[in-house]
A and B are shown apart, each in its own frame.
Chain A
């Protein structure tokens, strides 16, 4: 099992990286002159065309977790990882486009928490704004930490320098051009990632003998793991039982937990992505935004999961190839309970890049990796500065400031957000366990969110008290479920079981999906129960905020093939086709 060799980049590699950063910063400074009001800074003046907001909607989610994490999952689970796209993203993106965007955009809310204020009350908004801002800062810090660690491991770069340089670059272009600058750079980063990884997949497939060669090698790898021959190359094989597929999840937990609760909770309520659609230049553009994003999203498994599968094919399930071993504290390879070497799947994609790319292309590939880190970080910072300025500062601290004051506050919040992200990155390095606990807490906070939004938008009887206490009960339900269950082979602690043990799940993923299902159902039941015994708002107050009381967007004047509903049907049909091809 190889250890990770430190790579020395050549002048052409550094030149490619430098040129990319020149353009990234250039966009920020070119937009500075046109960022004159708080609306320009926080909402892009609601002026962007749908192809830009659509690619940004996708790219804001294209952080390191996506590029590195999905490659790692590809090496660990095979093509079944594509469920996170074809089940865990596309249906929710279609839903938010057709059914929720008319409320977000039409209500003129400037943020997702502000919609909650308009629909429910101030306490529900504040709970959502504070939990989202804290979660976003920490995820930005974790991403920064992962980037510093990765580039230190691969290239020998100083962790401190990597973190500070990336933070300064993001700060410079967001400070200068606000949301428009972040969105423009996210689109640029999308193309860099696509063009950096496409040749990696091409060369990787070529090196294993094409798809047939990849299938043959992964069939061997599956046999080594005691799985069915097609377990790594068929997405739905063995999904009737958690024991017979690499994910360790049965189909109902996957479809309901990932495909409904977690996926709709993220794509339909997460301000980070919804903010991109809210920057569109019209209602029809806002509705098209998630649908445009869905097209590359459904194809992204071939760009980010396949490299992991190719790395596994070049390694074998028993190790010994390009995926290095995880190292124990003493520097020796880590072994599992059965005495087998534990592979560091997070390095699958970076190591494939180093193996297949010569000088020049290596610079392009590493720039694509850096771009993914930066786009994730910038997305987090722009979401936080908007929430801080509108949902916390303007709502609770200074309600009657001038527009120039809020523009200044947005820029100050950008600096603050970056500084807090840097602090979170160092906390992640110093207290790894604390970050795991925090991520767990945020998972509890997120799980019931979609229930609150869905009830608010589609049931006019839902009250502010019902929403707030339903949300709180959903979070508590998630905590209790996690505290009374454990994944197979784990000991009580952060993995669960800290209140006692009522049930053991076959995998961590199964436990996560069922925690989400329990949180969602708890939130729905409590929200409905409390709403039925509290006073709802008058219909007149809910116009534009609830489905049954809102004029539906009229598409009559638009040619049939250009209507969002037609586009959505085509997206869903293509997604079903992909599931059938990789059945």
Chain B
């Protein structure tokens, strides 16, 4: 069996990004009321925004992996 046949790389990338996205967005939601914490980033809740971006990116990778698996 070839090395490539054993693991579709889009799966670990997708799951890592989904996991990190949930962690960051969750933390952003939990700390959203703490204005002092987000002074560094110019008042922007960057944890929430970037967490959602990473989560969506992860979902795209997982969908690509699913499509690849369906194609065989």
Contacts and interface: CB of A to CB of B under 8 A. Distances in A.
A49 B16 CA distance: 21
B65 interface: no
Contacts of B5: 34, 47
Interface string B34-72: 000110111010110011011001000000000000000
Contact of B20 (A34, A44, A203, A364): A364
Contact of B3 (A40, A203, A356): A40
A148 B13 CA distance: 27
Interface stretch (A132-140, A180-188, A410-418, A473-481): A180-188
Interface in A37-64: 40, 44-45, 47-49, 52
Contact of B16 (A23, A33, A36): A23
A203 B16 contact: no
A184 B7 contact: yes
B4 A27 contact: no
Nearest to A49: B4
Interface stretch (A12-20, A383-391, A527-535, A548-556): A12-20
Interface in B6-39: 6-7, 9, 12-13, 15-17, 19-20, 23-24, 27-28, 31, 37-38
Given A23-B15, A33-B6, A47-B3, A207 B42 contact: yes
A361 interface: yes
A322 B46 CA distance: 21
Interface residues of B, number: 33
A35 to B, nearest CB: 7
B4 A281 contact: yes
B59 to A, nearest CB: 14
A15 B41 contact: no
Contact of B40 (A23, A177, A281, A357): A357
A320 interface: no
Contacts of B12: 23, 26-27, 30, 184, 188
A45 B2 contact: yes
A358 B4 contact: no
Nearest to B54: A195
A203 B9 contact: no
B40 A187 contact: no
A47 B2 contact: yes
Contacts of A357: 40-41, 46
A30 B57 CA distance: 23
Contacts of A44: 3-4
B27 A34 contact: no
A203 B7 contact: no
B2 A187 contact: no
A358 B46 contact: yes
A333 interface: no
Interface in A177-207: 177-178, 180, 184, 187-188, 191, 195, 199, 203, 206-207
Contacts of A33: 6
A206 B42 contact: yes
Given A26-B12, A34-B2, A184-B9, A356 B41 contact: yes
A207 B1 CA distance: 52
Interface in A95-118: none
Interface of A: 12, 15-16, 19-20, 23, 26-27, 30-31, 33-36, 40, 44-45, 47-49, 52, 177-178, 180, 184, 187-188, 191, 195, 199, 203, 206-207, 281, 355-361, 364
Given A207-B42, A360-B31, A361-B50, 16 more contacts: A16-B24, A19-B20, A23-B15, A44-B4, A45-B2, A47-B5, A52-B9, A178-B3, A184-B12, A195-B17, A358-B37, A359-B27, A359-B31, A360-B23, A360-B28, A361-B24
9 contacts: A15-B23, A31-B3, A47-B2, A184-B9, A188-B9, A199-B46, A356-B40, A356-B41, A358-B46
**Top 9 closest pairs, chain A to chain B, by CB:** A34-B6, A47-B2, A180-B3, A360-B47, A47-B4, A23-B16, A360-B27, A45-B2, A45-B3
